[in-house]
Each structure stands twice: as structure tokens, then as C-alpha cells.
Chain A
């Protein structure tokens, strides 16, 4: 069977920028960050005071009370985003379609809050037992499983955990399943809820979180800002989407993956270069066709300069004509959800012909010598775009998209 063209026909997002994809996009094009004082932990408990939390979220607004007992916050975000994406795509379910639909989700951490509470009960509260729902709540595939049950989806379903590249790898795998005919539809993305004290203490000890805000590519950048949320996309073959008259946001063209084989936390130039090159090759693209890159852009000293070098090395002179922005400056680094949130940002940038900015930008860094779309969105009819994710552990994923219509 010849490879099929695959398009994005549904999106859903819950993040610090709002509880649906429309609010997400509104904040992105206004360049308005969702970063503020952390509410999930007591003030002063951490060296870093800020995060990008989902505000105004009440589980019972989305789930029956009994259901919330079974779902950690991260799995709830997966389901909330999936519902929106499926509704947005206006899927009409049949038994056959349910059997041919894949679910591929990404999560770096799973249910850390659930685990944290269990350990707190054991070690601090001196209880001798933990909640029997701890295992099903905290497993990384909890979101994928709940999505399958909610929609009665019975096709291939699994979860990928590759740290900050989890949901980029997930969306890419789902794309490949649809392209090769192993699935007729895919619900794919990722979710994360890292704001539990035990886990945040580990980030504090790593000394990579900014004491104020996230300023990717700025000379005075001081680190990342953690974020949370969920983002899901509906993928299907172009022909099927056209046949049912679906709205097409963008075509997904390629997935590139690589491993640095270098260092457990330090980024490399070579690994990202190979991942971006592989995404171009997978999509049959020339570097000059790319007009925008949604960068990994964490806002750490090491990542941003290394990523800029990788882009310079792969694209050569064309790097000077590329727009590169990091939307982590607004939705924070949502770890296993980051790739899917950024895939949606990229898809919407192509769809609307409007590039989201790098917010909080203050001062150019000669080591990040790129057009980073500072602070204000820009109108640009870009043909193709990449979305980069480079994980701790040196595992890289890059998605390539093309504008439709």
C-alpha cells in the first residue's frame, strides 16, 4: 500500500493559557504568558516561586465525582484535551472506526501527585497503607486507557515516555500508524501534571528552573519554567478527511528521531541536527521549504544556544530567513505534554498564517543568533514548519507540518 497523506482535523488543549484550544491560541498570538506564582505548593517551599499552572480547573466540572477518584490530574488533562479534539474533528463513531482508531499518548511522569500523596501518608502521616487506586492512577498510560474507554476505541493504544520529547514521539508514532494504514484515525498527544512538592524539589535540586520567568534565547535567560496541561490532536488520512468534508488544520509530513548518545542531561548539537534532518527526509522536504520552527527553547543557558547552533548547522544560510520561536515562554515547559502543545501551536501558526512569538524576550544573545519573533506575533504565510523536542537523556523528536489550503 502506498504511503498515505495524513492531516490534522481536530485539536484540544488545556494549559496555563486556558482550558481549551481557542484560549490557548488567543494567548499565544497575544504573546501573553500563563506564568505566575505557584498555587499547588505552599509559598516559600521552593527556591523558585513560579510555574505555568492550569487555572480555574475543577475536576468535577469535567468528571463525575467517582471518576475523579480513578484519575490523577495528568490523566484528567489527557481526557479533557482528547474530548475537545474529537469534538472539534466532528468524528462520527462507528464500530468499525472504533476498531481502526489508534491512541498514542506521551507522559514523562505519570501520576506523580498520586505517588507523592501515597508516600506522604506512609512516611509523614505514619499510615501503614496507601490508596489501592495508586497504581491505576499513576501509571503513565492511564490517560490513554481512559480515552479508549470514553470513546470505545479498540484499536492500538499505547503511551510513550521519553521525558520532554514524550508527546512529540507519540504524535509522530500515531502519524506513522495512519500513514502506513495500521490505523484509520488517531487520537494522539500528551499530558503532564508535575506540580507536586516531592517532584518539584527534584527540579529545584537540578538548578535549571528560573527564579522569575522563562526567557528563551534572551541573553539574560535564567532557566525554564515548569508547566502542566494536556494537548491532543486527531489525525486521519487526507482522503478520508476530504471525503467527509472535515476541516483540515494542516498536513503532518514527517517525524525525525535521534539519540545523542552523549550525556544524560547536557544537550548536543549533533543529535538535534540529525533529528531535524530526519524529519525533513521523512516528509520529502528541502530545508528551504521550512519557514518556521517551534523550538524546544526551554530558556536554559545550555539548551537555547545548543539548539540555535543545531539550526544554524542544518539550515546554513537559510537559518537567517527562518522564524524560530519558543512558546514555552508562555505555556511553560509541560514536559511530556510539551511536544503536543507545541505541535498544536505549530499547526495553528500554519493554519492562521500567524507565528506565535517568543515572549518575555529582553536582549539578543549572540550565541542564539536567530530571528526568534520577539514578543509580538507576526503575520507570515509559511509553507512548512518544524516542531522540536529534545529530551533529557538525549532522545530527540521533530515533527514536520505543511499548511493546507
Chain B
């Protein structure tokens, strides 16, 4: 389960960063991958779309690497957090 999730996360990061997925390892840090804070929010956005969830700021803060990202996501998915990003009525 963790492995499968990790693969999905890695492919999302790869697509967002326009880099080959094989360069992204489970223990890669964002710093090693050249991912800065703006790239980070872009990846969170892509993950929210991929998994149809809303990732709260608190869950996103302090994530510095791929493994941590997968673990946070695993917790969020287990908690069944609904997507609060559905379009609201203006």
C-alpha cells in the first residue's frame, strides 16, 4: 500500500517538476531535488487533484522530503478528508 502510494506521489512530483521519475527516490529531500517553496505548493495542488482531497496547511507545513510527503498523505487518506475545494457558490 505504502509502495503504491509512493509511486503515485513520485509520478506527480515528476510531472510537476518536469523531471524523470527515476531521479526521485523515496528518501530524496526536496532540497536535493531542487524543489523550493513555490514548487512545493504546486506539488500540493497537483496531489490534491490526483487524490481528490484537500490538504490542510498544517499537514503540508514542515514536509521536507518524499517519504514525509507520502506518510502525510497516507494519514490524510486514512482520515478520509473530503475535498473542500469544490466550487462554492459566488
Listed in ascending order, the chain A residues whose CB lies under 8 Å from chain B are 41-42, 44-45, 47, 116-117, 120, 124, 196-197, 205-207, 211, 263-266, 302
Contact = CB atoms under 8 A, between A and B. Distances in A.
Given A205-B41, A207-B44, A263-B36, A45 B88 contact: yes
A42 B56 contact: no
Contact of A197 (B36, B45, B88): B88
Main secondary structure of the interface of A (DSSP, over half): loop
Contact of A207 (B36, B57, B87, B90): B57
B15 interface: no
Nearest to B48: A205
Interface of B: 36-38, 41, 44-45, 54, 56-57, 60, 84, 87-90
A206 B88 CA distance: 19
B45 A265 contact: no
B38 to A, nearest CB: 5
A197 B37 contact: no
Contact of B41 (A41, A207, A302): A207
B38 A265 contact: yes
B88 A205 contact: no
B76 to A, nearest CB: 14
A42 B56 CA distance: 19
Q: Which of A47, A124, A266, A302 has the most CB of B within 10 A?
A: A47
B37 to A, nearest CB: 7
B83 to A, nearest CB: 12
Given A42-B89, A207-B41, A302-B37, 18 more contacts: A41-B88, A41-B90, A44-B88, A47-B54, A117-B90, A120-B90, A124-B87, A124-B90, A197-B88, A205-B41, A205-B45, A207-B44, A207-B60, A263-B36, A264-B38, A265-B37, A265-B38, A266-B36
Contact of A266 (B37, B44, B87, B89): B37
Q: Which of B44, B45, B54, B57 has the most CB of A within 10 A?
A: B57
A356 to B, nearest CB: 29
A264 B37 CA distance: 11
A117 B56 CA distance: 28
Contacts of A264: 38
A116 B87 CA distance: 13
Contacts of A196: 90
Contacts of B54: 47
A116 B41 contact: no
Given A42-B89, A197-B88, A266 B38 contact: yes
Contact of A42 (B38, B45, B88): B88
Contacts of A47: 54, 56-57, 84
Nearest to A45: B88
9 contacts: A41-B88, A42-B88, A196-B90, A263-B36, A263-B38, A264-B38, A265-B38, A266-B37, A266-B38
A161 B50 CA distance: 35
A263 B34 CA distance: 13
Contacts of A41: 88, 90
B17 to A, nearest CB: 15
Contact of B90 (A44, A116, A263): A116
B59 to A, nearest CB: 11
Nearest to B61: A207
Contacts of A302: 37
A116 to B, nearest CB: 7
Contacts of B89: 42
A206 B36 contact: no
B41 A206 contact: yes
A1 B14 CA distance: 60
A41 B89 CA distance: 9
Contacts of B45: 205
A36 to B, nearest CB: 19
Nearest to B42: A205
Contacts of B87: 124
